[in-house]
Amino acid sequence: MYDRLEEKLQSGFRCVKLKIGAIDFDKEMELIRHIRQAFPSGQVELRVDANGGFSPDNAMARLEALAQYDIHSIEQPIRQRQWAAMANLCRHTPLPIALDEELIGTNERDRKAELLDTVRPQFIILKPSLHGGMAGTREWIALARERGIGSWITSALESNIGLNAIAQLAADIYGPRITMAQGLGTGQLFTDNVPMPLEIRGDQLWMATDQK
């Protein structure tokens, strides 16, 4: 993970996300400590994603441990569908919590509003292919904005066609000069992709208008 981080930083990235909660937490903390010693928060924005790997019993202690290292946010610290426990974490957390999997399957506007009003996360993360498409994503973000909740958009495993559409959606929602790092780099995971004039320059996704 550390080698991959160095590789991304050398490519010009200044915001990275680490998956945690899958191995020994002490070893993950060792890695984060090592990263922060080498790359202070002014140089690298560090986000972590627990994918529901913590339990309601140990989550707060782990959030407090992570908060020592200037973490931007943590995604889904505990499993979804535990609204009361998640709300308690969001209310007392020492670092911002972002909901991701929690939003999947909640498609009615009133139910979305109920979730946001109950849990009150600091951020929500939208994958259009999992969160109701373009219209569903816009609705989630509009409801979040009404409540002072931040958001960003990420891609799942779309081809370049889908990635292009999601990038345009993000630009339309947040404006052409987006300041919050989005998660639109998954096209690099493919060994074979639909050809499109998309390219990553530093830590930004561009459409190369000089290509045909």
Query: What is the Cα 31 distance to its own chain's centre?
Result: 20
Round the average pLDDT of the chain to a whole number and report it.
90
- Known catalytic residues are 19, 127
Of the candidate CATH numbers 3.40.50.300, 3.40.630.20, 3.40.50.1110, 3.20.20.120, the domain formed by 2-36+43-207 belongs to 3.20.20.120
Per residue in 38-73, pLDDT (tens digit) is 888 888 899 999 999 999 999 999 999 999 999 999
In this prediction, residue 186 carries a pLDDT of 60
Contacts of residue 75, defined as CB under 8 A and 6 or more positions apart, other chains included, come to 17, 47, 48, 49, 50, 51, 97, 98, 99, 100, 125
When pLDDT is averaged across residues 10-25 and rounded to a whole number, the result is: 85
Question: Which position has the higher pLDDT, 208 or 189?
Answer: 208
Per residue in 74-105, pLDDT (tens digit) is 999 999 999 999 999 999 999 999 999 999 99
When pLDDT is averaged across residues 6-15 and rounded to a whole number, the result is: 81
Indicate the domain borders of the chain.
2-36+43-207
Whether the per-residue pLDDT at 6 is higher than 90: the answer is: no
Dihedral Cα 15, 19, 24, 28, nearest 10 deg: 0
In this prediction, residue 163 carries a pLDDT of 87
pTM summary value: 0.90
Residue 51 Ramachandran class (φ > 0 left, ψ -120 to 50 alpha, else beta): left
Question: Which position has the higher pLDDT, 154 or 204?
Answer: 154
Whether the per-residue pLDDT at 34 is higher than 60: the answer is: yes
Contacts of residue 201, defined as CB under 8 A and 6 or more positions apart, other chains included, come to 12
Percent of the chain surpassing pLDDT 70: 95
